[in-house]
């Protein structure tokens, strides 16, 4: 499918496509999302079908303002409003109790009484959301369980032949700035829970909301947000994690300074300076590159579990699961 530069005219066209039941892949600060109206059942079903996503896995709702959020959810903790105002727009998804008077299609919610919702900070995403002015569901624009897309051509590689040239679009807004999906925080109870570490560090949230559980529990039978399946974010190749050096038949994904005598088929480095933000931005793109080399195993150097490193390790562990 032809990529459409994210010009003013193309953003307006993309908004019209969504309002008429189409699907638009668009950039966010985290990864590219596959967007459709959150109230259009046919479009929502198409997204599940295109991705091959289980229908018990709810979709994240994207909006452009806190006022929109408050029209869709109910909460009784004043600190949650502080969290919204502090971290939105940005890479944080809140799982909240759903207002029955609002209308997010039940299929998008996986028939739950909660919704996962966020306000992205990417300027293109915000322009699109303001133009449509309705809630949009936007899971990652890839095949379910596969590596997330951080560039428009990743979307085209995965889904280009599944989209309709007349009703759908891929908006090309360049590389995603963060490269890791949003942090998901469940605030439906008195104790908030991290359901998925992501682009916003747990430490940063704890500076403003002390009572947080970070035991992000897998829940494949009834997930209340994305990121709760054991196997996810997976390349075709196997991952050998916390490796000290590659074997001669493996590819190497390093972090920090590499040794000079690495003997392997292919090698890349997430960040030669040991910068975790740079590593997160490069993670999915480099795994995709190595995966194209048709090797059986990618050896991955240990990544510190600090800050966004927690999210990087979460993706690697799930990507290595069978």
- pLDDT tens for each residue of 24-81: 999 999 999 999 999 999 999 999 999 999 999 999 999 999 999 999 998 877 888 8
- Across the chain, mean pLDDT equals 92
**CATH code for the structural domain at 238-320:** 3.40.50.11030
In which band, very low, low, confident or very high, does the pLDDT at 123 lie, cut at 50, 70 and 90?
very high
Domain ranges of the chain: 3-213, 238-320
In which band, very low, low, confident or very high, does the pLDDT at 190 lie, cut at 50, 70 and 90?
confident
Q: Tell me, what's the pLDDT at 102? A: 74
User: Model-level pTM greater than 0.85?
Assistant: yes
Q: Is the dihedral of CA 159, 160, 164, 170 positive or negative?
A: positive
The residue with tokens 């133009």 is 131
Q: Tell me, what's the pLDDT at 219? A: 56
Mean pLDDT of 6-21: 98
Same CATH topology for 3-213 and 238-320: the answer is no
Residues 210-269: tens digit of each pLDDT: 888 876 555 555 666 666 555 567 899 999 999 999 998 999 999 999 877 788 889 999
Q: Tell me, what's the pLDDT at 151? A: 98
Q: Cα 24 to chain center, whole Å? A: 16
Q: Was domain 3-213 assigned CATH 1.10.10.10?
A: no
What is the percent of the chain where pLDDT is above 70? 94
Q: For 297-317, what is the HEC assignment?
A: EEEEECCCCCCCHHHHHHHHH
The residue with tokens 């927690």 is 310
Q: Tell me, what's the pLDDT at 77? A: 76
């Amino acid at each position: 499918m032809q990529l459409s530069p994210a010009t003013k005219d193309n953003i307006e066209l993309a908004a019209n496509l969504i309002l008429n039941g189409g699907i638009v892949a668009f950039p966010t600060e985290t990864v590219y999302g596959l967007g459709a109206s959150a109230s259009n059942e046919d479009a929502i079903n198409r997204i599940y079908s295109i991705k091959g996503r289980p229908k018990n896995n709810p979709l994240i709702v994207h909006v452009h303002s806190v006022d929109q959020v408050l029209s869709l959810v109910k909460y009784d903790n004043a600190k949650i409003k502080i969290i919204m105002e502090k971290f939105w727009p940005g890479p944080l998804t809140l799982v909240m109790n759903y207002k029955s008077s609002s209308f997010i299609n039940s299929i998008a919610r996986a028939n739950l009484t909660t919704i996962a919702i966020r306000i992205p900070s990417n300027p293109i995403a915000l322009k699109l959301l303001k133009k449509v002015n309705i809630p949009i569901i936007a899971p990652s624009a890839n095949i379910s369980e596969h590596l997330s897309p951080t560039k428009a051509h990743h979307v085209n590689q995965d889904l280009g032949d599944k989209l309709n040239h007349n009703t759908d679009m891929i908006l090309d807004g360049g590389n995603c700035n963060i490269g890791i999906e949003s942090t998901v925080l469940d605030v439906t109870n008195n104790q908030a829970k991290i359901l998925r570490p992501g682009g916003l560090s747990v430490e940063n949230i704890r500076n403003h909301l002390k009572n947080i559980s970070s035991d992000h529990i897998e829940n494949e039978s009834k997930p209340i947000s994305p990121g709760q399946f054991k196997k996810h974010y997976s390349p075709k190749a196997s991952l050998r994690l916390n490796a000290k050096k590659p074997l001669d038949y493996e590819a190497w994904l390093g972090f920090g300074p590499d040794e000079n005598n690495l003997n392997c088929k292919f090698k890349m480095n997430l960040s030669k300076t040991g910068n975790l933000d740079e590593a997160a931005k490069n993670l999915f793109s480099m795994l995709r590159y190595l995966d194209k080399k048709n090797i059986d195993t990618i050896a991955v150097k240990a990544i510190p579990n600090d800050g966004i490193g927690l999210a990087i390790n979460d993706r690697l562990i799930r990507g290595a699961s069978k």
